[in-house]
Amino acid sequence: MLDLDAYRDAMAKCSHCGLCQATCPVYREDFLQTHLARARMDLIRAVLVEGELPVTKRFREVLDRCLLCTNCSRTCPAGVPVDEIVAAARNRVYQGKRRDPVRRRLLRRFMGQRGMKGLMGKAGTVAHKMGWTPAELAPPASKPFEKRYKGRISTEGKARARVAYFVGCATNTLYPDTGKAVVDVLVHNNIEVVIPEGQVCCGMPALADGDLALVQEMARKNVPVLAACDVDAIVTDCTSCGLMFKSKVVKALPADDPLRPRAEAVAAKIWEVTDYLDHVGLTADPPPLAESYTYHMPCHRSWTPTLDDAPRSLLGNIPEAELVELEEPDRCCGAGGTFFMDFKELAEGIRSAKLADIRRTGAKTVLTQCPACRSFLRTRLEDRRVTHPIVLLAEAYNL
């Protein structure tokens, strides 16, 4: 249940080989061993499990200065689930109170209604215009996705499949264009889309704060709604939402929780949308689209084996569209959800390497599924557009 005690053996699997140095975005910026998965595991064990060292401000900084990007886990020959251990450690240290009460209330409301809308949305727009919110944050869209699309969107003829669409916070209020493209492309390819009512945030921001109670609160709303859908698959456009439903939501629930079987059923059906489409294949051939684009791989992608290449493979179906690969397509951009707000300089440093790589390609369109990456990259790429891969496909179809 993301309880630190359950990870004792997993932590012990860290052999201190240090291979995590190759891919940890924070270490590659700081060059300090303390900010590396190997030391984080060792310190969490020494401080929170064995009690050899006290909990200090510096220890909390070591815990906080992690993007939960999962790059170290992917590199780790023993597959230590570092992100879960750090989240569980944050839960142990902060007991759900990593942020002050005002911010916690805001976050809870944000998650409950999936993004900034209503009063919050208006206030957010004003605050954005006044320069009170970080410039890195995209302004909320005028009309959230859920006000544009509802219920069942049927295909013209007989549908070959039916999917439920989980709409994350960012798509709902920041990037409804992604949501529109998801629905349009699916329907155009003869797949019926159901948008279940009563969805809330996937819970990732709460997981990052170690606020397990809030993760569970979200799960208790989402899981019954999604599990009740009579569909072939559940799709999401966001790789982090997908990661939550694939592996974290189940783990966040107590072992004997009656909701767990349904959470497992959701986990079995969840797909990232480009991965799903690539898997079932397109029924409509996309017309040519002369566009050169590059692809930034979101960090939260290893929850299915085919996700790494799915967008490349899917967009490979568009004649004349040309992918210019980044030198390091899998290198983190530094956004990390809201990490960039907590560690501004560090995130800036991580991003600068990514930006240089993107500029080198000369591509005018940058694609990535993660809305945090999209927003964070966009603010420093004035002369390029950053969008979701599915949007490019929708454009090719002229939808």
Partner 1 sequence: MKGLAKDLKRLVASERVRTDPEDLFAYSADATYYIKRGRPDAVVLPENTKEVSALLKYAFHHAVPVTPRGAGTGLSGGCTPLRGGIVLDMKRMGRILDINRRNMSAGVEAGVVLADFHKAVKKQGLFYPPNPQSMNVCTLGGNVATRACGPHGVKYGATGDYVMGLEVVLPDGSVIAPGGLVSRSSAGYDLTHLFTGSEGTLGVITKANLRLLALPPAHRTAMVTCETIEQAGEAVSEILAGGTLPAMIEFLPRMAIAAMNRYITPPLVTEGKAYLLIDLDGTRDEIQAQADQILGICRRMGVLDIRVIEDEQEAATYWTARSNIGGMLLAMMKKAINEDVAVPRDRIPEFVREIQAMASTLSRVVLGIAGHAGDGNMHPSIFFPEVNSDAENEAEAVIRKVVRLGLSLGGTVSGEHGIGFHKAEFLHWELGEVQIRLLKRIKKAFDPKGIMNPGKLWKEGR
Site residues for partner 1 per CB under 8 A:
12-13, 15-19, 21-22, 31-34, 36, 39, 42-43, 46, 53, 56, 58-59, 62, 76-79
CB of 331 to partner 1, least distance (A): 13
Q: Which is nearer to partner 1, 60 or 359 (CB)?
A: 60
Q: Which is nearer to partner 1, 253 or 350 (CB)?
A: 350
Read off the tokens for 287: 């017309």
Segment (H or E) for 172: helix 169-173
CB of 42 to partner 1, least distance (A): 7
- Burial of 319-345, coded b for 16+ CB within 10 Å and e otherwise, reads eebebeebeebebbbbbbbbbbeebee
Beta 270-272 vs 233-236: how paired, if at all?
parallel
Termini Cα distance of the chain: 43
Read off the tokens for 197: 């009512």
CB of 274 to partner 1, least distance (A): 22
Q: Which is nearer to partner 1, 72 or 163 (CB)?
A: 72
CB of 294 to partner 1, least distance (A): 20
* C-alpha span between 362 and 293 (Å, rounded): 9
The DSSP bridge partners found for residue 292 are 322
Quote the distance between the C-alpha of residue 104 and its chain's center: 20
Q: Which is nearer to partner 1, 58 or 105 (CB)?
A: 58
Residue 379 sits at φ, ψ, to 5 deg, of: -65, -15
CB of 19 to partner 1, least distance (A): 6
Q: Which is nearer to partner 1, 58 or 147 (CB)?
A: 58
Q: Which is nearer to partner 1, 79 or 151 (CB)?
A: 79
Backbone region of residue 229 per phi and psi (left: phi > 0; alpha: psi in -120 to 50; beta: other values): beta
User: In terms of C-beta density within 10 A (0-12 exposed, 13-18 middle, 19 or more buried), how is residue 99 classed?
Assistant: middle
CB of 58 to partner 1, least distance (A): 4
Q: Which is nearer to partner 1, 163 or 346 (CB)?
A: 346
The DSSP bridge partners found for residue 193 are 153, 163
CB of 61 to partner 1, least distance (A): 8
Task: Please report where in the chains the tokens 């799960």 appear, as a residue.
Answer: 219
